[in-house]
Amino acid sequence: MPKEPIRLDARVTLAHGNGGRLMRELIDGIFAKELGNLDTQVDAARLPLETSESDWLITTDGFTVEPLEFPGGDIGSLAVHGTVNDLAVSGATPRYLSLNVFIEEGLEMAVLVRISHSIAQTCESCGVQILAGDTKVVRRGQGGGLYLATTGIGQRRQGIELGLGQIQPGDRLVVSGTVGDHGTAVILAREHFGLSGNLQSDAASVVPVTEVLLEYPGLRFMRDPTRGGLATVAHDIASTTGTTVRLLEEQIPVRNEVRGVCEILGYDPYYLASEGRVVAVLSPEAAELAVADLQQRGFRDAAVIGVIESGTTRVILQTRLGGERILPELEDDPLPRIC
């Protein structure tokens, strides 16, 4: 179907940043259209460098989370992990980062020191270096305390071919762990709803996961389910490949704490962000082997959670009771300033 043109009399809403349909239309209808050579289907793009044994990939990202510090992380560790993970799910080993810092007037120096220390520690644990950066300060009331923007460069051995175009009917969806942890942890940290709990964000490097998956020739595609969560990754697959993505509710790992918060507040865990998980598509014969391998290496909640089917472009949740529920594309932003 032809895409609707961007209405010039419309205005940007928070939903344009949620990772769903409106965000995709914004990126494709304005930035990709005007810039021409922007590939909007990849997490990291190949740099056109002459290399003999490897490719160099580049990615860029922005981070705006409220609160700046949350159980299991902060905006600093989130920025490093998010950038590293976009390279990792593209098959690369992360090497170098740049960091841009946008500080709102009035931010406490103690907060800035803690977050900077967190950035340094996370870079060390991920094996990456920050080589360049920039700092800007905006007037009080014109920012969210602190925004970060990063660029990452990674090295990928030649011969790795991953992407939405590699996916075939019959392939299986795999997730490396429980979904919705980050989104739920941030909900609890905001204390807007009178809820509390011990749940922590799943924010972490996914390099240990991607290194395992890259050992399997049947690997087709990987992505980290951040904004818009698992359901939005499934919609990206369905819309690009023209297939039906069938998710198996019984197989999708969701913590009881996440389910409880979602039931109380009316959220759907499949749309909530995960910051340390991988959703992958593998051939049927590779999927079960890869999951068993991940579980043996400590990723106990890894599971095969769905299948790619020929048919209408849509995402179906096959429920525990044997029924079916259509999962629509994300429209309104259920949780702004999440990552």
Condensed to tens digits (0 to 9), the pLDDT of residues 109-121 reads 999 999 999 999 9
Average pLDDT (64-86) is 96
Report pLDDT for 324.
96
Q: What is the 3 state secondary structure string of 250-315?
A: HHCCCCHHHHHHHHHHCCCHHHCCCCCCCEEEECHHHHHHHHHHHHHCCCCCCEEEEEEECCCCEE
Q: Is the pLDDT of residue 190 over 80?
A: yes
Report pLDDT for 22.
73
Report pLDDT digits (tens) over 33-74: 777 766 666 667 777 776 778 899 999 999 999 999 999 999
Q: Model confidence at 144, in pLDDT bands (50, 70, 90)?
A: confident
Listed in sequence order, the DSSP H helices in the chain are 21-26, 33-35, 75-88, 109-126, 181-190, 207-213, 229-241, 256-265, 284-296
CA 99 to chain centre: 19
Domains of the chain, first to last: 41-157 (3.30.1330.10), 164-326 (3.90.650.10)
DSSP 247: E
Report pLDDT digits (tens) over 4-41: 677 777 787 777 766 667 777 777 777 777 777 666 66
- In 3-state terms the chain splits into helix, strand, coil percentages (rounded to 5) of 35, 25, 40
CA 237 to chain centre: 14
The Cβ-side half-sphere exposure at 262, using a 13 Å CA radius, reads 20
